[in-house]
Amino acid sequence: MAMSTGGSGGGPMAEINVTPLVDVMLVLLIIFMITAPLMSHKIRIDLPQANPNTQETNPPEPIDLAIKENGDLFWNDEPVTPAILQAQLRVAAQKSPQPELQIRADKPTQWQKIATVMAEAKSAGMVKLGFMTTGTGGDQ
């Protein structure tokens, strides 16, 4: 399609080239012709069935392990020694379902003390671990 601006002089002409449009439309037509039959096929998938009776209704109480700045350990607000801590961690790791160990440390507590407790928990077999922090070095 050609358009002129009028006048007898050779003014600007504008043409619309439809070849790229036709090329794109033909490519899309071929893609749809190939993929349309694939969409009508059904694929059978065997999904597992949820059994509401097997779900835990009362999860175990989490274990609160407090670490003070000076390295003192408190198992559910009861003071413990590192040897007693390891024994209690082994007992807790054997429970089914396993309770979560929530480590609560004062803000100024050195990271090395927390990492040591984490390593002991892992070696005892604890897999559920959570962290809490307190804002100050004061009371629990």
* CATH number (domain holding residue 125): 3.30.420.270
Q: Identify the band that residue 140 occupies on the pLDDT scale cut at 50, 70 and 90.
A: very low
Q: Identify the band that residue 22 occupies on the pLDDT scale cut at 50, 70 and 90.
A: very high
Residue 133 has pLDDT above 80, yes or no: no
Q: What value, to the nearest 5°, has the Cα angle with vertex 63 and ends 92 and 98? A: 40
Residue 40 resides in a domain:
no
Residue 38 resides in a domain:
no
Which residues form the domain of 96? Answer: 63-133
pTM: 0.54
Residue 8 resides in a domain:
no
What pLDDT is stored for residue 69 in this prediction?
A: 87
Helical pair 111-124 and 82-94, crossing angle rounded to 10 deg? 40
Residue 41 resides in a domain:
no
For residue 97, say if its preceding peptide bond is cis, omega within 30 degrees of 0.
yes
Mean pLDDT, the chain, rounded, equals 82
Contact between 79 and 65 (Cβ < 8 Å): no
Name the β-bridge partners of 78.
75
What pLDDT is stored for residue 26 in this prediction?
A: 96
Number of folded domains that form the chain: 1
Residue 7 resides in a domain:
no
Residue 28 resides in a domain:
no
Choice among 2-11, 21-30, 118-127 with the minimum mean pLDDT: 2-11
Average the pLDDT over 62-84 and give the result: 90
Residue 122 resides in a domain:
yes
Contact between 101 and 63 (Cβ < 8 Å): yes
Residue 3 resides in a domain:
no
